[in-house]
Chain A
Amino acid sequence: MEKKQKDMKPKTGLARCLEIASDRQPMVILSAVLSSLAAVASFIPYLAIYGVIKEILSVYPKLDLLDTHRIMLMAWTALGGILLNIVMYFLAILFSHLAAFGTIYELKTAFAKHLTQIPLGYHMNIGSGKLRKIMEDNIDSIEGFIAHQFPDFTASVTAPIVMVVILLAINIKLGLISLAGIVLAFVAEFIGYGSKDMKHNMEQYQNALESMNNASVEFVRGMPVIKAFGRERSSFAKLKKAIADYTDWVLKFSLGWQNCMPAFTAIINNIYLLLIPVGLIIMRSDSGKGFLMDFIFYLLFTPAAAGVMNKIMYVSESFMQVNGSVERMDEVMNIRELSDTRKDIKLSSCDIEFRNVSFSYDEDQQKVLDNVSFKIKEGSLTAVVGRSGSGKSTIANLISRFYDTDSGQVLIGGHDIKDIGVSSLMEQVSFVYQDIFLFRMSIADNISLGKKDASREQIIEAAKLAHCHEFIKDLPDGYDTVIGSSGIHLSGGERQRISIARAILKDAPIVVLDEATAFSDPENEYLIKQSFRSLMKGKTVIMIAHRLGSIKDADNILVMNNGVVAEQGTHDELIGKGGRYKTMWESYEESMQWKVGGAAV
């Protein structure tokens, strides 16, 4: 499905929605057909009643001549029509829901997958609130479209057609007049749709809704700080403004219809007013019973048109909304994924090389890496140091292919990493990031995330090496303890060690360590250090180091400054050189001596 979306020209509106559901086309079509048939069946009771009235009037006022057998038949026909209508509509809805829920399930997973394949920077730019909204609300509204609006739409197209046929078949003059009335009603309504204001208001309304969502996320998330500084009032005011803006726009948007909708309602319910003058004029020349019966039929039938047309109105209104939702989804879906050759390349060596790499997170922003070149020998430990913003974390992000370079190459074992299939690359490289994230799954599952087929023994082995086993086995359910369940509190150090166990289990030849910046208590610190040692043993390691103390023994230290490698060498070499590194080292030593309440700085 994803493939298709990329190759085709972007479609909009109905076409795009149907394209989304294309994997479940038979069901969607079946539901549309059934729904249309149900709409046709819904006219049967009217025709039956018309039949009854016709029978009666044809003998009126001599009622004893009435053919009761035919009357009974009409009554049964009416009931049969009702039954048909409901059964078919039920089936239509059944199929459409199966298609709809299936489709949004596929969409959500496709969307989720897509998110992992676009450069990670988009996550920061778009914000998780908006992404979540797309994944929940926007995609869910497509459910409504496929499950309800589309079958309703086909029905509401079929029904008027059938209605027009009936209207014209019985008496063409009266039929045309009724049609004119219906057209008039729609003209009244569509005056609203066409206007530029309406579109503008719709957009503003969607934007205001989104701002309100973001504001409330921030409000809740920031509440601890807000309370700490006693800023409830101003923060509340901000949210309040977002809410008020939303209310303003949603009202403006809704009230845009305050004349059109009622006009539609009024006209569609009063079409008989058009029929009467015409009917009376015709009657002057044709006072036969036949015409009178037709006339009565139209008086009876045109109010039914209101119901049919109301549905169209409702459908077209929600069309506009689902269209907006799909656009929002596609905005993200259309972000180009990082290329993936899917080639399974077995690396003959684990040498890593950055060759003239330049990179910036945003086109118009300054370069984070500027023509950076360096080499890392297989089996060596390379540390990358520098101020925050110097580009050191970017190096890790490029090796993980969270981003692609703007120019230059990142090579592993002589292969450009763009040529290596993503999953193949991920198999060769383990990552330990500073923002440790554990999922609400069992600890065992968290550890084996990188190696699904690991046995329990292997998991425990890795946990032991990462010094997790001790605390895990003391948890109520041991390795099956679910992270985040009540009463389970893991310290930062413990969480960190679980993430190290994850990498140990994965056992990839290359390890990228974005050193956890957080200090734990001494005990934990010590254990983490030990775990790192197990993880790094025999591997090619790149360590993004935040604490200079931990890299003294590195084979090579890259000192980053403003996107370039300022200097490199071993600790002793760099100290001897007396450059940036030496300054950093001195600051480091000084900061280690710092005391609160002691001699001031």
Chain B
Amino acid sequence: MKRLKDALLLSEQGYKDLKKAIGACTLTNLSMMLPFCVTVMIFRELLEGITEGSTDTSAIWKLWIFGIVSAVAVFLCAKNDYRKTYIASYKESNKTRERLAEHLCGMPMSFFNTRDLTEITSNMMSDCSAMESMLSSTIPPLIADIISSAVMCVMLAFFDIRLALCVFITIPLAFIIIIASKSKQKKLFRSQNDIKLEASARIQEYLEGVKIIKACGVSGKRHEALDRTLRALKDMSVKTELAIGVFISGASMILQSGIGITIFAGCALLLSGKVELLTLLMFLLMATRIYGPILAVLGQLSTLMHLDVVTDRMRSLMIADEMGGTEKTDGGNIEVIDARFGYNDEEVIHGVSFKVEKESVTALVGPSGSGKSTMSKLIARFWDVNGGCIRFGGKDIKNISPSSLMEHMSFVFQDVTLFNDTIFNNIKMGRESASDEEVYAAAKAAFCDEFVSKLPHGYETVIGENGGTLSGGERQRISIARALLKDAEIIILDEATASLDPENELFVQQAIARLVENKTVIMIAHRLRTVADADNIIVFDGGRIAEQGTHRQLMEKGGIYRRMYELQMNAS
């Protein structure tokens, strides 16, 4: 039972509820024995009637009344277990979903950049749904069946051990088959699951790339990558189902052959007078009924194994490390000391050191892939450095709690994430405690008024999935309004590389100018002219700092910066 709790990642309450649900189901199963007992007792009266020549009808009527009472009992038990199992399972999966979501909140920023978002979401949703149905309609009845079958075994053995053996001899055999096939099944499920995830990712890709797919005329089956995975999924599914079908069918055949055995042996015993007719009848009756629940157990054993795979994935998500650090920070200078970092084994930042003075403008420039973006994300602690350290106000940021660190930083990145909510709420993201006036003021300062006023519901307009209805410049202005509202002392600015139409561009630029006033600015710049007035320009190349200084110093030096600058001047 304890293992069940771990296997299903249940909470304490959930575990308790599950136990209660199992208890309720067992009770229902046992209550079903009441009609059976009444039936057998009526048999007895009827058989006595044959031997004695007349039937005691009043005894039967009494049994009948008892039968009515027991039918009501069955109803009450069934209702009780129905409620218990469903309420318990949905409450529990509610909790699991919340727990997963809560856990995700604690994950480092990098987690969301490196992980496949499809997989994360799939983990949260479909795995929980699978668990939900496990907890409601599979596990409690299943375990209840096991318990009540065992109870019946004992009861029957008490009546007649020989016949009980006949009925039950096939059960271990059937289970041996299923258990022997367990590893094979698990393997099949695993590969099926892998293909499912792959197909899921391919479908996502297909949906995202639909324009190109259309333009290149590779839709539907002609999109080979999707077609291949869907085919593979089809084949794998058939294979899995078949293999499981063979095992289950074999096992259930063996199991049910107990009926034949009971008839053979029972009649032989009856003839030799070693067993009474009523007992034999009872066993025959039993043989027609007992295998049903056990078959259900057999059939769902494989599903139970599937559950392992399902929770495996959730478990690996749950144990992924949350970011550490508890200290608070009051801000200050930023110092990068011999920082080293690699995404996987491959190091991309090779010992970088520099200083960012409070309220200065620092530009990070360099070719793409030179490490400038990575460096800015290290400062924001999307990842922790592998070597060296980054100090913020004198404290190693590894020791600063991520939320305290975030309070001091604002980001304006090029990929703006907007939520399917009103524009007002999207801006309010920046600071929860902001008053409505402050939100409007920030919006105005970021030149959002200009386009919001044209929308049908103004600031109350709901923007669709990731703000699809807004232009790039408008989305950027919303994100700048957010940052303005937040008013953090450090602004990390990934210069919006996306070029906007000239008016939009001017708006965004003016909004940024307001945002960076009197702030510590770290700016990843693509247009070198933009940062020509920066206090310090750090030129990255190949994960190292190639040179740094002011624009004038770097131009005089005649290094990589100067070459880039000139190339860009010529181009425009």
Contact = CB atoms under 8 A, between A and B. Distances in A.
A243 to B, nearest CB: 5
A598 B509 contact: no
Interface stretch (A14-22, A71-79, A155-163, A462-470): A71-79
A46 B288 contact: yes
Given A75-B263, A86-B253, A592-B572, A229 B482 contact: yes
B71 interface: yes
B367 to A, nearest CB: 5
B74 A587 contact: no
Contacts of A110: 220
A591 B289 contact: no
B525 to A, nearest CB: 8
Interface stretch (A193-201, A218-226, A352-360, A568-576): A218-226
Interface in B188-222: 199-221
Contacts, number: 484
Given A102-B234, A387-B503, A597-B533, A491 B216 contact: no
Contacts of A45: 256, 259, 288
Interface string B362-406: 010011110000000000100000000000000000000011001
Contacts of B346: 487
B410 A439 contact: no
Contact of B500 (A78, A230, A546): A546
Interface string A481-496: 0000011010111100
B contact face: mostly helix, strand, loop, or mixed:
helix
A124 B208 CA distance: 11
A221 B466 contact: yes
A440 B74 contact: no
Nearest to B464: A124
Contact of A440 (B61, B199, B205, B528): B205
Contacts of B527: 519, 592
B220 A132 contact: no
Nearest to B493: A596
A103 to B, nearest CB: 10
A247 B112 contact: no
Interface in B35-81: 35-36, 38-39, 42-43, 46-47, 49-51, 54-55, 57, 60-61, 63-64, 67-68, 70-72, 74-79
A136 interface: yes
Nearest to B74: A266
Contact of A518 (B210, B256, B430, B498): B498
B219 A519 contact: no
Interface in B216-256: 216-221, 223-227, 230-231, 233-234, 237-238, 241-242, 245-246, 249, 252-253, 256
Contacts of B199: 136
Interface stretch (A164-172, A299-307, A412-420): A299-307
A519 B526 CA distance: 7
B338 interface: no
B46 A296 contact: yes
Contacts of A131: 207
B127 to A, nearest CB: 12
A117 interface: yes
A135 B203 contact: yes
A520 B366 CA distance: 10
Interface in A259-312: 259, 261-263, 265-267, 269-270, 272-273, 276-277, 280, 283, 287, 289, 292, 295-296, 299-300, 303-304, 307
A25 interface: no
B260 A243 contact: no
A224 B500 contact: no
B432 interface: yes
A186 interface: no
Given A78-B260, A247-B91, A587 B214 contact: no
B22 interface: no
Contact of B105 (A236, A299, A598): A236
A388 B473 contact: yes
Contacts of A546: 499-501
Given A258-B79, A520-B526, A75 B501 contact: no
Interface residues of A, number: 184
Contacts of B502: 548, 584-585, 587-588, 590-591
A532 B170 CA distance: 75
Given A60-B277, A283-B55, A388-B500, A522 B87 contact: no
A87 B248 CA distance: 11
A112 B226 contact: yes
Contacts of B71: 266-267, 269-270, 273
B352 interface: no
A61 B516 contact: no
Interface in B462-503: 464-466, 468-469, 471-474, 482, 486, 493, 495, 497-503
Given A220-B104, A280-B57, A426-B215, A261 B78 contact: yes
Given A128-B207, A147-B241, A236-B101, A547 B253 contact: no
B82 A116 contact: no
Looking at chain B, what size class is its interface with the partner chain?
A: 35 or more
B113 interface: yes
Given A75-B260, A86-B252, A524-B368, A591 B509 contact: yes
A71 B262 CA distance: 12
Interface string A224-266: 1111111111111001100110110011001101110111011
A contact face: mostly helix, strand, loop, or mixed:
helix
A222 B420 CA distance: 10
Contact of B78 (A74, A90, A136, A265): A265
A299 B39 contact: yes
A517 B415 CA distance: 13
A423 B473 CA distance: 35
A538 interface: no
Contacts of B495: 519
Interface string A115-145: 1110010011101110110011100000100
Interface string B250-282: 001100110110011001001101000100110
Contacts of A533: none
B208 A437 contact: yes
B245 A94 contact: yes
Contacts of A272: 35, 38-39, 42, 67
A49 interface: yes
Nearest to B71: A270
Contact of B292 (A72, A300, A307, A595): A307
A105 interface: yes
A247 to B, nearest CB: 4
15 contacts: A45-B256, A63-B271, A63-B273, A71-B267, A75-B267, A221-B417, A229-B406, A247-B91, A251-B90, A258-B82, A265-B75, A270-B74, A283-B57, A523-B567, A599-B533
The 10 closest A-B pairs by CB, nearest first: A113-B220, A388-B471, A262-B78, A598-B533, A491-B368, A597-B361, A116-B219, A266-B75, A587-B502, A79-B260
